[in-house]
Amino acid sequence: MTATGGGLGALDILILVVVGTGLVAAAVQSEKIVMNASNGPVEPVPPAIEWRDQFLGVTVPESDLVWMVGSHGKIVRSRDRGQSWSVQPTGVTVNLQDIDAWDPERAVAVGNDGIVVVTSDGGETWTQVSVPRSEITNKLIRVRCLDGGTAWAVGVMGMILFSEDWGSSWVRRSSEVDVAWNDIAFPDDENAWVVGEFGSMMHSADGGVTWQEVEPTSERSLMAISFRDSLSGVAVGLDGLVLGTVDGGLSWSTIDAGTPLHLFDVVWNQTEWIAVGGLGVVVTGSPDGDSWRAQRMSDNDLAWHTAVVSTGDGVFVVGASQGFWRAGTWIPVGRG
């Protein structure tokens, strides 16, 4: 490069432009690094429902509102029929097994280690409450909310709990025995039923104050029970077990549901019985219980499902996947 009269040649100008551009770029990049170092790394916000989540309980207190609970104390809520979800922190780290609600503001969830949490503000805050406990083991499996702020919860070691103040306090209504109760149902104000492992079943004729054992119809565990009126009910269980009654439980008959797969929950959906279980199976039954059909909700979804709740125009199902079963069509929701 040759200096001529102290001026810059074309080559000099080109070199300065290139170098200057590089310095500006370096300065900008350096500023980014400083900003990152000062503010810390920007963490991606996970979706409300992740692939690793497993939901075990669900409630739909009104048509557009869905609450789900599951692994590691997670509670999520949707206000738009599952199109979007928000996580509601609970402070709980054990699995929550079930949830039920009195209305859109008041709900109760139960789970492992005898955990009970309640909300009165739509889930903005959840409060853990004290409940009677066993000295051996504690796990609450199902909770049912009834009129007037009453609720019932059942679980291991023969646990049957009752609350009459929107879940704020609980009393035990059963003796401690080595049996897990998996569900409880009230077909009317006086009669109540609990079902559990090894075909165990008990009945109360005084609103749950006292309970009497019922002779088991099967040795297979019963996982859920539901009634459509004071006389007609269905209980489901392992290995495709379905029991039906049309006389208020005076007698129970075994029903061929057409599947050997485990069934974990059953609901009356105003027009038919719907039960769900392993490998994406759904079993539908006629109102009188005479006709039953087993099928898969989807060829692309072979997940197990533990809970089903009526939505009026179908049902909402949760488990290893979640979604609506409506008019014979599976509509998954919520996966991030």
d(CA 276, CA 236): 9
The angle subtended at Cα 309 by Cα 284 and Cα 268, nearest 5°, is: 45
Given the structure tokens 């992740």, which residue do they identify? 50
CA distances from 126 to 73, 106, 108, 147 (A): 11, 10, 9, 21
Single pTM value for the model: 0.86
The reported pLDDT for the residue numbered 21 is 40
DSSP code, position 215: -
The reported pLDDT for the residue numbered 336 is 52
Low-confidence ranges of the chain (pLDDT < 50): 1-38
The reported pLDDT for the residue numbered 48 is 92
d(CA 84, CA 310): 20
d(CA 141, CA 158): 11
DSSP string, 55-93: EEEEEEEETTEEEEEEGGG-EEEESSTTSS-EE---S--
The reported pLDDT for the residue numbered 42 is 65
One-letter amino acid at 204 equals S
